[in-house]
Chain A
Amino acid sequence: GQNIDQPTEMTATEGAIVQINCTYQTSGFNGLFWYQQHAGEAPTFLSYNVLDGLEEKGRFSSFLSRSKGYSYLLLKELQMKDSASYLCAANEDQTGANNLFFGTGTRLTVIP
């Protein structure tokens, strides 16, 4: 089974830093993904963590702690275009096929 939790909504100011948390409980855990989804558009891949630690990619960073079942996405120097939903997804290895199980998403609103 799987359980993915993340906050429903967050608001942050342009130029600031925001951290979106995600906790997960899965069997056969095989990595943690973050996706961004603008309204009416396809989710797009942001980051993937399978080992503990921080992965940095420009303004976006993602952290994973496997022992705590915890991840966060850090967005720096926020821009208005960062207003979107951010989806946390745990990869679960089942019978040789990797399946992604998603949280409900965190809707981030960036205000001037």
Chain B
Amino acid sequence: ETGVTQTPRHLVMGMTNKKSLKCEQHLGHNAMYWYKQSAKKPLELMFVYSLEERVENNSVPSRFSPECPNSSHLFLHLHTLQPEDSALYLCASSAGADFGANVLTFGAGSRLTVL
């Protein structure tokens, strides 16, 4: 248990479905992140939130929509996804997005399969 909890751990959805991934951190951190991890590719930063404000949107398609209602919770809303969006989606948190030693604490990830 890292202190960052992601649900669901596994999700299978069709291209026309709408689903959401949830992340919750119990570490008192101020920044939260979404990363995408695909096989044989580097972890890709998708979104960064600092004190509930989005500070980074790394050219992510609009079919991915993040929401950060408070500093402990982060959602990734999914709609009309493509099969190539199948991947492991990792949530992370850190003490602050503008700290030099920006140590990330990751959740175990949500494995998404798009049919």
Contacts and interface: CB of A to CB of B under 8 A. Distances in A.
Q: Give chain B's interface residue range (CB within 8 Å of chain A).
A: 20 to 34
A97 B98 contact: yes
A77 to B, nearest CB: 25
Q: Is the interface of A mostly helix, strand, loop or mixed?
A: strand
B79 to A, nearest CB: 26
Contacts of A87: 43
A41 B108 contact: yes
B65 interface: no
Contacts of B105: 45
Max chain A C-beta neighbours (<10 A), residue from B99, B100, B107: B100
Q: Give chain A's interface residue range (CB within 8 Å of chain B).
A: 20 to 34
B97 interface: yes
Interface string B59-97: 000000000000000000000000000000010000001
B17 interface: no
Contacts of A42: 2, 4, 90, 106-109
Interface in A13-31: 30-31
Interface in A60-112: 87, 89, 91, 94, 96-105
Contacts of A4: 42
A102 B21 CA distance: 22
Contacts of B90: 42-43
Contacts of A30: 100
A11 interface: no
A100 B45 contact: yes
Nearest to A95: B55
Contact of B106 (A44, A101, A103): A44
Given A42-B4, A44-B106, A98 B99 contact: yes
Contacts of A58: none
Given A100-B104, A105-B42, 7 more contacts: A33-B103, A42-B106, A42-B108, A43-B106, A44-B106, A98-B98, A100-B43
Interface of B: 2, 4, 40-43, 45, 48, 50, 55-56, 90, 97-109
| 6 tightest Cβ-Cβ pairs between the two chains A and B | A102-B43, A42-B106, A98-B102, A102-B42, A42-B108, A97-B97
